[in-house]
Amino acid sequence: MQNFTYTVDKDGIATFLFDVPGRTMNTFTESAVADLDAIVAVIREDRVTGAVLASGKDNGFCAGADLGELGETAGAGLTGDALAAALKGSSRMSWALRAIETVGKPVVAALEGIALGGGFEFALAAHHRVASSRAKVGLPEVTIGLLPGAGGTQRTTRLAGPRAALDLMISGAPIDAAKAQALGLIDAVVEPGAAIAAAKAWITGGGDGVAPWDRKGYQMPGGPYTAEGAPVFMTAAAQIHAKSYGNYPAQKNIARCVYEGFGLPMDAALRVEARLFLATQQTPQARAMIRSNFISKQALAKGAARPAGVPAYTVGKAAVLGAGMMGAGIAYVQARAGIETVLIDTSQEGADKGKAYSAGVIEKGIARGTTTAEAGDALLARIHATTDYAAIAGADLVVEAVFEDRALKAEVTRRAEAQIGTDAVFASNTSTLPISELAGAAERPANFIGIHFFSPVDRMELVEIIVGKETSPETLAKAMDYCRALKKVPIVVNDSRGFYTSRVFETYITEGLEMLLDGIAPAIIDNVGRMTGMPRGPLELADDVAIDLLDRIAGQRRVDFGLGDPNGGTDKVLVDLVGAERLGRKNGKGFYTYAKGEPKRLWDGLADLYPVTVERSTPELVETLKRRLLYRQAIEAARCMDEGVVTAPRDADVGAILGWGFAPWSGGPISLIDSVGVAEFVARTRAFAADHGDRFTPPALLERMAAAGDSFYPAPKAAAAA
């Protein structure tokens, strides 16, 4: 065995410790799956009376399958021998776990820390599960477009019942040990560090080595023809579609696994699951989600775009200029990462208020049990709130997070730069102003870079690093090391107006406003927006961002390009709403009205400003509007690539998904173009341009790729074991 070690104690109990060499966390690689056969062989030895499955690592049991090894899965349409080979490979772990389950001796999983995906399926194949109170378990496969393919859909249903099993698998969210025990997925919860001892005690106390469903006469509770189960099975498809709008084949296939496998003998049920797993694995959504949401995201988090040859840079002390919402959030994540942080504001009251944000986050963490008072006190001690720029002296990095005003940013840049060394990095958190222009106020523009955080900083994973015209490779490498220390996922873009994320995100809202001007009913616009897989419709999202902020950005763009005041178009919509003091959610009035204690509702006066000519939707209209909203963003992303703002498809895709929630099922806007086919996408957007304007005209890059038959990503690999 390459990934497990084991010992056999005086009672004949074999304890297998899962410990993948060279990895900080256990995952199921192909070699780890192969080791399962050896585990079964050991358990079958006469000297062994039972087995305990545990982890040799301190941070958890197993995080799931190694998706980096899985890679991009095979395309649809496999037949004959190719289909049989793919099915055999993708179901290998399922049958290995079934061999453990039917080995004939009691097997117990002892869980400390996390057991997710294939790791939890490993535990479910045991006859008994003991978890420490700090353990978390779950089946998150749906978040990368897959379904549990090693018995998870069948064993969770038999243990927890159809409703709870569907909720667990379709959400993909992990649950704690106490909830898992309440659902019947965990048999006992113990203090941290006591799981192995409790597992052995269960075996010596007469633990049974036969799963309930392998006993003669077993019948599953809550079936589709019972009073308890009928409502679950009758409404499952509708409930899934209501939340996913059919964008995620994995969710539908999870429900099929539960329904079609219900009541079958386990071996037959596993064959149902295996077929549906392979079918799901081959969908465009799964291929795109695995690539962007896992492989590309992991690579970027590890600094894949970092310039080579630059020594690692450690930020021991950093300063944040501006203690508003963004500055306060940046200060918190710095202090959380162990960085001594100076938080500067124009008044001591403002600086203290910014530090109080961290105190509030810590209080919530203590209430949830995710941190302790001692850890919180240590974090707060690392934040020095002040108005004194002299406190910045010795900082390795400074982040400017003041109001989006060029003159103000120039002033704080000069004041802070005077306090730091010649090797220190100066970063601006601007979301729209060109970095090369802001660097004009710096004495050392080679050390100047953009580091655009997203709000709320403590929860958003993405950071957009913007390279100015004079930014050095050393500064970029240092900025990436800083982001990695904060456990953020950085994408690297070149300087331009709006950079990448703000520029492309804005097109989603703007296209919604174009639809409003076209006479489409606002309810249709926002409903279709959600149907695309975006987190909110464009109008409600405009309210969330703040209409006056969008108006200021549009106004600054008109000034910069000498366009004058708007006499129509989407800019005029923003001007009209601001004139009516409808600023969005923040003042309770925008495209929607937000009455306290009541659900939001569309503003009655909106139709007076923008008369509705399309009051009812049709399937054809819905499809057209969905494409307009998604394709408009995809075109802008492709333009950014054409102009060299973004140089790698993975940065564009990961940045879109993490930055503004671009339809995760698609893998991102560049993956969306690939899935449609570049030539077909160009044809469709040309037609949109003819009907709706030049904003849909495909950039030259797409025209060249369409003519050459190219795609952004290489062809998928052959199907591999999950």
Please report, for the domain that includes residue 678, its CATH number. 1.10.1040.50
Whether residue 453 is contained in a domain is answered as yes
Query: Does 338 lie in the same domain as 226?
Result: no
Whether residue 431 is contained in a domain is answered as yes
| Weakly modelled stretches of the chain, pLDDT under 70 | 68-77, 715-722
Query: Does 512 lie in the same domain as 493?
Result: no
End of a domain among 499, 531, 560?
A: 499
Whether residue 587 is contained in a domain is answered as no
The pLDDT of residue 721 is 28
∠ Cα 546 550 552 (to 5°): 115
Return left, alpha or beta for 309; rule: phi > 0 is left, psi -120 to 50 is alpha, else beta: left
Whether residue 288 is contained in a domain is answered as no
Q: Which are the contacts of 449, defined by CB distance < 8 A and separation ≥ 6? A: 425, 426, 427, 428, 435, 465, 466, 467, 468, 471, 475, 476, 479
d(CA 343, CA 389): 10
Query: Does 522 lie in the same domain as 481?
Result: no
- Find the CATH number of the domain harbouring 406: 3.40.50.720
The pLDDT of residue 72 is 44
Query: Does 517 lie in the same domain as 492?
Result: no
> Residue 458 sits in which domain range?
317-499
d(CA 231, CA 570): 46
End of a domain among 499, 531, 556?
A: 499
Query: Does 460 lie in the same domain as 362?
Result: yes
* Structural domain count, the chain: 3
Q: Per-residue DSSP letters for 236-250? A: HHHHHHHHHTT--HH
Whether residue 122 is contained in a domain is answered as yes
Query: Does 438 lie in the same domain as 422?
Result: yes
Using the CB atoms, write b or e for 101-122: b if 16+ within 10 Å: bebebbbbbbbbbbbbbbbbbb
Q: Which amino acid is at 571?
A: D
- Find the CATH number of the domain harbouring 117: 3.90.226.10
Nearest Cα to Cα of residue 672 among 683, 659, 661, 663? 663
Query: Does 536 lie in the same domain as 670?
Result: yes
Whether residue 212 is contained in a domain is answered as yes
- Residues acting as catalytic residues: 452
Query: Does 86 lie in the same domain as 13?
Result: yes
d(CA 237, CA 256): 9
Whether residue 601 is contained in a domain is answered as no
Q: Are the CB atoms for 536 and 526 separated by under 8 Å?
A: yes
Whether residue 720 is contained in a domain is answered as no
Query: Does 513 lie in the same domain as 375?
Result: no
End of a domain among 263, 282, 301?
A: 282
Query: Does 145 lie in the same domain as 67?
Result: yes
Query: Does 660 lie in the same domain as 630?
Result: yes
Query: Does 363 lie in the same domain as 238?
Result: no
